[in-house]
Amino acid sequence: MKSISAVNLAQIQELESIVGTAGISCWQDAGAFWQEKLKSAIAPDTDIDCIVFPHTQAELAAVVACASRNPAGILICGNGSKINWGGLVKLDPPHPARELSEPPLFSSVGAIVAVSTGRLNRLIEHAVGDLTVTAEAGMKFADLQQILAASGQFLAIDPAYPQHATLGGIVAAADAGSLRHRYRGVRDLLLGISFVRSDGKIASSGGRVVKNVAGYDLMKLFAGSYGTLGVISQVTFRVYPLPVASATVVLIGETDALAQATQILLSSALTPTAVDLLSPDLVAKLGLGKGKGLIVRFQSIAASVKAQSTRLLEVGEKLGLPANICGENDENQLWQTLPETIWNSAQNSAIICKIGVRPSESVKLIDELPIQDALIHAGSGLGVLRFETATAETLLQVRRSCEAKGGFLTVLAAPIALKQELDVWGYTGSAIALMQRIKQQFDPENILNPHRFVGGI
């Protein structure tokens, strides 16, 4: 990796005029945490000049406008929990016909400025009666849940790294988790957004009224766009009442019986909030037994939870599947440990992939492939795979199998060297041209998280 360029004093003063001295760190002063995070997200031949921490939407807009006037890209992040997901950020060569209206601000042509929204973390409005909440994009998911819980409500998402993930990052990555079975995905809960365009202008879409459809398509575009269309500054979500009771049924067994149990469950009148298939390795790590697993969470009034759990236990018994019910304390621990086992790593060497297959193929996928830790949401066929080590050929083999089952495989997190050996997105469909036109409309200079998304967008 090339040495990271420094920003000279005069240039720091330019940015300080926007965010203040406490709102900017040049590379050498950024600290080990941010240096490690940033290096994991960029191509080895890419320079980062500094990281900027705007405190307000106006400051964020001014920083983006500044970058748009200069040959600098922007690496957008919140707290950095998912900064290494997707493609490696790098800049294209400067456009030869581009004329700058002002002298370049940054110290080297082709440098990147990292911009964190982590200090845009204020609650804007919680309309308890309307079941909506509006907050700045840098608010931590865990902090929002604590605020909502005081009013008996919650945001029905269970993202990766819930203690650190920001609302803007969750939307940008469309990171819903297991609760999508009942509450659907991030874009279905998102009622409105404000964002900063690549030219520094502020724009908004939607609102806090649940039935508002204005800007509906625009919000769908931003959910899962990985920061390539604009910098999200504020979000409005639909929220739900906290469930009165909760229990999780765990079924352990072999492929055929689990596939039957899953099919019976999904075609029944039962209303679980989460239905997840687990690989044998993951089952063992969670201390649930030996074999493939199906874990099903019911949340409602106590009588309903008990009745539905009992019904699923009866299904498991008829199919010869060992089963048990986790009560409230045990199941809270289970649903906390499950994502930690998938996402957390002491090293940055773990390989984490997002996959999708036809739901009917989910159990078969776990059975067929050399997967260590696999979590697949049975209702949608979406899931996460984790490998402690894997070659590019192994990942391509798994990708081919997913594609044969009507799905996909995206490499989220992996060592930089491995990401350079393959296309992390692997998408070759007909929508590439459309996505490129959308990118051109929103970010014509390609300064926002360049090359992080599908097709080098």
Residue of 397, 398, 396 lying closest to 356 (CA atoms): 398
Residue 58 predicted with pLDDT over 80? yes
The two beta strands, 73-77 and 111-116, are parallel
Q: How far apart are CA 66 and CA 199, in angstroms?
A: 8
For residues 139-158, average pLDDT: 98
User: pLDDT tens across 251-297, in order?
Assistant: 999 999 999 999 999 999 999 999 999 999 999 999 999 999 999 99
Residue pointed to by tokens 């500094």: 50
Domain 245-336, what fold? Alpha-Beta Plaits (3.30.70)
The mean of the pLDDT values for the chain is 90
- 111 pLDDT above the threshold of 90: no
How much is the pLDDT for 110? 54
Other beta carbons within 10 angstroms of residue 248's beta carbon come to 25
Q: Given pLDDT bands bounded at 50, 70 and 90, which one contains residue 97?
A: very low
Average pLDDT for 35-59: 94
pLDDT of 47: 86
Query: Does 345-419 carry CATH code 3.40.50.720?
Result: no
Residue 444: per-residue pLDDT = 93
Given a contact cutoff of 8 angstroms between Cβ atoms, the answer to whether 160 and 141 are in contact is no
Looking at residues 319-333, what average pLDDT do you find?
A: 89
Residue 329's pLDDT is 78
* Angle at 153 (CA atoms; ends 147, 159), nearest 5 degrees: 75
Q: Give the CATH fold of the 9-119+441-456 domain.
A: 3.30.43
- What is the rounded CA–CA span in Å between residue 281 and residue 287? 10
What whole-number distance in Å separates Cα of residue 212 and Cα of residue 243? 26
State the Cα–Cα distance between residues 345 and 347, nearest whole angstrom. 5
- What is the rounded CA–CA span in Å between residue 202 and residue 213? 20
State residue 106's pLDDT score: 47
> Does the pLDDT at position 356 exceed 80?
yes
pLDDT at 25 over 70: yes
pLDDT on residue 345: 67
Which pLDDT band holds residue 92 (cuts at 50, 70, 90)? confident
The DSSP annotation for 49-85 comes to EEEE--SSHHHHHHHHHHHHTTT-EEEEESSSTTTTS
pLDDT tier, 213 (very low <50, low <70, confident <90, very high otherwise): very low
Report the relative pairing of strands 231-238 and 190-196 from DSSP bridges.
Answer: antiparallel
User: What is the pLDDT at residue 105?
Assistant: 47
Percentage with pLDDT > 70 across the chain: 90
Share of the chain above pLDDT 90, in %: 78
Q: Name the pLDDT band for 66 (thresholds 50, 70, 90).
A: confident
pLDDT above 60 (res 441): yes
User: Domain coordinates of the chain in residue numbers?
Assistant: 9-119+441-456, 123-241, 245-336, 345-419
Which amino acid is residue 195, in one-letter code?
A: F
Q: Do domains 9-119+441-456 and 345-419 have the same CATH topology?
A: no
123-241 has CATH 3.30.465.10 classification: yes
Q: What is the pLDDT of residues 216-259, one digit of tens each?
A: 478 889 999 999 999 999 999 999 999 999 999 999 999 999 99
Q: 64 Cβ partners below 8 Å, 6+ apart?
A: 74, 115, 196, 197, 198, 199, 200, 231
**Residue 263 CB burial class (10 angstroms; 0-12, 13-18, ≥19):** middle
Read off the amino acid at residue 404.
A
